[in-house]
Amino acid sequence: MARKKIALIGAGMIGGTLAHLAAKKEMGDIVLFDIAEGMPQGKALDLSQCGPIEGFDAKITGSNDYADIAGADVVIVTAGVPRKPGMSRDDLLGINLKVMKSVGEGIKNNCPDAFVICITNPLDAMVWALREFSGLPHNKVVGMAGVLDSARFATFLAWEFGCSVKDVNAFVLGGHGDTMVPVTSYTTINGIPVNDYAKIKGVSESRIDEIVDRTRKGGGEIVGLLGNGSAYYAPATSAIAMAEAYLGDQKRILPCASYVEGKYGLDGLYVGVPTVIGAGGTEEVIEIELSDEEKNNLKVSTDAVEELLEACKSLDGSLA
């Protein structure tokens, strides 16, 4: 069987980390694509030289030519610019929307059968726009956010309880941003509902609320500490888990920014929901029972996503 091909569009901090992880796991041959000349080629060369030491066998190439992503099985998109001081959310939206247009066309023309995972922010709007521009089926284009947000929630809970992160199954829904919805009712410590476990361990409700709040602001906390740039290790690890679920037809249920039509009372937008990922891409969106408060929180979150989509449509008439 031919080796799988993984195309990484954007060879920056997350792109480079994705390449390293994918190579270590021998997921396939890797193409690092970027508009910056020399940089993806340099990273590819550097990463290739890890092979003899780590013992992985993967061909890693850098490119500035979309033709080199031809036939990719998986495409992970991190292309774009981060928000800089003084830049409004709309400024960022405008710039990254244009990036999604060129990336979408590159995918459509070179690897229309790929499973595409978008990471570029603002996530829920960019994955929607990328799908529109690429014209791929909705089940083959997905956004990465919930796996990361849930991992942040799980990490903070494990620290609080002094338990292993392996035993925490945390759950975050909604858009990627301050309005995301960490769902405590579906969060367990090895099957024990988190609120029950908090009582056992003498952890107050307000402490759990603080952890929920820290999760919501988890990206910003890292931006503040780094001083330049945003998180990249855990975002890359999260997208790799999604790619592995697709390539291995694992049928994992992962919180992803998936296209929702009908479920959760939503119609035609991408937002974080539990999703089955297998060989068919995003095979099913799972609709879970939510409390009234969780429903309200999800509504606030999806309203924020809708607003971004309207902004995209007014910035690019072809999306209207």
Q: Which residues are catalytic?
A: 176
Distances (CA, A) of 79 to 12, 96, 250: 8, 8, 27
Residues 208-227, one symbol each (x = binds ligand A3D by CB under 6 A, - = not), give -----------x--------
Strand pairing category for 252-261 and 267-278:
antiparallel
CA distance 320 to 208: 41
Residues 42-81, one symbol each (x = binds ligand A3D by CB under 6 A, - = not), give ------------------------------------xxx-
Among 61, 179, 185, 230, binds ligand A3D (CB under 6 A): 230
229 touches ligand A3D (CB under 6 A): yes
CB of 312 to ligand A3D, least distance (A): 15
Residues 87-126, one symbol each (x = binds ligand A3D by CB under 6 A, - = not), give ------------x--xx---------------xxx-x---
Q: Which of residues 173-192 bind ligand A3D (CB under 6 A)?
A: 176
Contact 33, 8 (CB under 8 A): yes
232 touches ligand A3D (CB under 6 A): yes
| 121 in a labelled binding site | yes
CB of 266 to ligand A3D, least distance (A): 19
Q: Which is nearer to ligand A3D, 59 or 89 (CB)?
A: 89
13 touches ligand A3D (CB under 6 A): yes
Cα dihedral sign, 44-50-54-59: positive
CB of 73 to ligand A3D, least distance (A): 19
15 touches ligand A3D (CB under 6 A): yes
DSSP 115: E
197 touches ligand A3D (CB under 6 A): no
| 89 in a labelled binding site | yes
262 touches ligand A3D (CB under 6 A): no
Edge to edge, the sheet with strand 5-9 lists: 60-63, 29-33, 5-9, 74-77, 115-118, 141-143, 252-261, 267-278, 281-285
CA distance 235 to 292: 30
CA distance 244 to 111: 18
| 83 in a labelled binding site | yes
Q: What is the dihedral of CA 55, 78, 213, 220, to 10 degrees?
A: 100
277 touches ligand A3D (CB under 6 A): no
- Residue 34, phi-psi category: left (phi > 0), alpha (psi -120 to 50), beta (remainder): beta
CB of 288 to ligand A3D, least distance (A): 22
Helices then strands, counting H and E runs in the chain, come out as: 11, 14
CA distance 242 to 245: 5
Residues of the binding site for NAD(+) = 10-15, 34, 96, 119-121
Give me the residues that bind ligand A3D (CB under 6 A), please.
9-15, 34-36, 78-80, 82, 99, 102-103, 119-121, 123, 144-145, 148, 176, 219, 229-232, 235
